[in-house]
Amino acid sequence: MRQTRRRKDEHIDVCLRKPVGSGVPTGLDAVRLEHLALPEIDFDEVDLSTTVLGKRLRAPLLIGAMTGGSPRARRINERLARAAAHVGIGMALGSQRAMIEDPRRTAGYRVRDFAPDLPLLVGNIGAVQLRRGVTPAAIAAAVRAAGADALAFHLNPLQEALQPEGDTCFRGLTELLRRAIPRIGVPCIAKEVGAGISWSAARRLARLPLAGIEAAGVGGTSWARVEAHRAAGTPAAEAGEALAGWGVPTADAIVACRRAFGRRLVIGSGGIRNGRDVAAAIALGADACALAGPLLAAAEESERAVVRKLEAILLELRIVLFCTGARRPRELRGRGSRR
């Protein structure tokens, strides 16, 4: 239990103080959206609101999963949740493993205690924990305790392989997920943590009773590099640096997920930094986007700093829609060409 809490704080420190980028393009910059000098709409007509997992958001955006399980993480989550509620978007929790191991940590995940108007809260647990004896009943209880509306099972084989304390037995997880998902009691999605979802993985996951998927492609924070910093001076450090850009770029992951999941939810993430990135992801097939890394430093500073960052991103997105003649985000679908 102490090991889990210590690891969470180490992750925060590394992400704030060390270079943790993957060094690989997301592919979103290559998506070209046509600028219309004569858009034939009023800027005030642009409406960013959308529905994600049955919840109405003011914009197709979520604060992505970051942290949890320590007092410092609780402060960060409180600021993130208040900011998300202020602008009317969703939020995903960091892994709830810590609260399952130690129920005294539950308070750090109950972000609705200080952000009751938060429109969507997504819980989070590593799928590999199903191999470690964490039962669907325990996960469902953690989801209820946090007041989450949905749950993300995260998939992170690259990160786990580099952690000295990593859980690396992914054998049989597909069947374990198939059995667990119907027992959670809320809509479930699957997500990567920054190495992306390939076409073959997306196709396999699409056979499960999931409500959707989060692409989490390469191009943002590299958890291989994060673990390399934690393992300084060891073979894992060298391996983590070498594999920092391993995986599926975000643009390719979004396309693969949309193709496999049909009309189900697809969340674009992995290196989403601004409104134009959100627009490009939606053009490629995402219903909404999630971002985490660009908000962590702001959350260390204050709730207001997070709000300023989010408001800038949403303004950028509204301007992109206006300049492409789109009144709603879904009108961007299929408009982007990849150079």
Say how far apart CA 126 and CA 131 lie, in whole Å: 10
Backbone angles phi, psi at 57, to 5 degrees: -110, 155
Q: Which residues contact 221 (CB under 8 A, 6 or more apart)?
A: 15, 20, 21, 22, 194, 292, 293
What pLDDT sits at residue 9?
81
Task: Work out the angle between the directed axes of helices 293-301 and 71-87 (0-180°, nearest 10).
Answer: 100
User: pLDDT, tens digit, for every residue of 209-250?
Assistant: 999 999 999 999 999 999 999 999 999 999 999 999 999 999
Contact 198, 249 (CB under 8 A): no
Q: Which residues contact 14 (CB under 8 A, 6 or more apart)?
A: 20, 226, 229, 230
- Whether the predicted pLDDT of 121 surpasses 80: yes
> Mean of the per-residue pLDDT values for the chain?
95
Residue 3: which pLDDT band, with cuts at 50, 70 and 90? Answer: low
DSSP states of 184-215: SSS-EEEEESSS---HHHHHHHHTS--SEEE-
Using DSSP's 3-state secondary structure scheme, residue 37 falls into coil
What pLDDT sits at residue 127?
98
54: phi > 0 → left, psi -120 to 50 → alpha, else beta; which?
left
Which string of b and e fits 170-209 if b means at least 16 CB within 10 Å? beebeebbeebbeebebbbbbbbbbbbbbeebbeebbebe
Say how far apart CA 58 and CA 88 lie, in whole Å: 5
- The terminus-to-terminus CA distance of the chain in angstroms comes to 48
Q: Are strands 150-155 and 188-192 parallel, antiparallel or unpaired?
A: parallel
Say how far apart CA 139 and CA 188 lie, in whole Å: 12
Which whole number is the average pLDDT over 31-49?
A: 97
Say how far apart CA 283 and CA 291 lie, in whole Å: 17
Domain of residue 197 covers 2-338
pTM: 0.96
Instruction: Give how many domains the chain has, as a whole number.
Output: 1
Residue 31 DSSP symbol: E
Domain CATH for 111: 3.20.20.70
